[in-house]
Amino acid sequence: MGEKNGRGDAREARWAEELPRPPPRRRFADGTTPPPMGDDSGREEERYLGALGLLQRSQWGEAREVLLGLAVCNPVERKYRVLLHYAWACEHEADGRVEEACAELRRSLTLDPHFEPSARSMEKLRRSGGVLRRWFGLAR
């Protein structure tokens, strides 16, 4: 069955080379990689604080990537999803997509009605007339 000569080792080596390689680990915007499943390495809080820093510096896309990774790794933690929708809203607003920004802010406020940054942004968009102006023909 198992050959003990040199040919058996060569066959095993060839077989090992034919195995599919695992995909490279995904990197988050903050440079960290997601922990393996079931690994509670304590990096979650560090990544969360990094995402807050990115939000404070208005780096919406990078913050969104980190928060998406956090939400995927810990889907029951509501604060990650609230901030994720807020980051998406800010990114949409920065790109001039007001309707999409409002939709993301609504999602954020649905998850946490008392999240002040989303409430303030929604009020700002309402005051600027964004969606309502276009709906009622009041475009500037």
pLDDT at 93: 92
Q: In degrees rounded to 5, what are phi and psi of residue 2?
A: -90, 125
Residue 52 lies in a domain: yes
In a domain, 134, yes or no: yes
65 falls within a domain: yes
- Asked whether residue 29 is assigned to any structural domain, the reply reads no
What token pair was written down for 118? Answer: 């989303």
Q: Which domain holds residue 130?
A: 42-140
pLDDT by position in tens, the chain (length 140): 444 555 555 555 555 455 555 556 666 666 666 655 555 556 888 899 999 999 999 899 999 999 999 999 888 999 999 999 999 999 999 998 989 999 999 999 999 999 999 999 999 988 876 555 555 554 44
pLDDT at 12: 52
The full 3-state SS of the chain, as one line of letters, equals: CCCCCHHHHHHHHHHHHHCCCCCCCCCCCCCCCCCCCCCCCCHHHHHHHHHHHHHHCCCHHHHHHHHHHHHHHCCCCHHHHHHHHHHHHHHHHHCCCHHHHHHHHHHHHHHCCCCHHHHHHHHHHHHHCHHHHHHCCCCC
What pLDDT is attached to residue 43?
84
Task: From 125, 116, 54, 61, select the one nearest 93 (Cα to Cα).
Answer: 125
CATH assignment of the domain containing 94: 1.25.40.10
Q: Report the candidate in 77, 91, 89 with the shortest Cα–Cα distance to residue 29.
A: 91
pTM for the whole thing? 0.65
d(CA 8, CA 58): 59
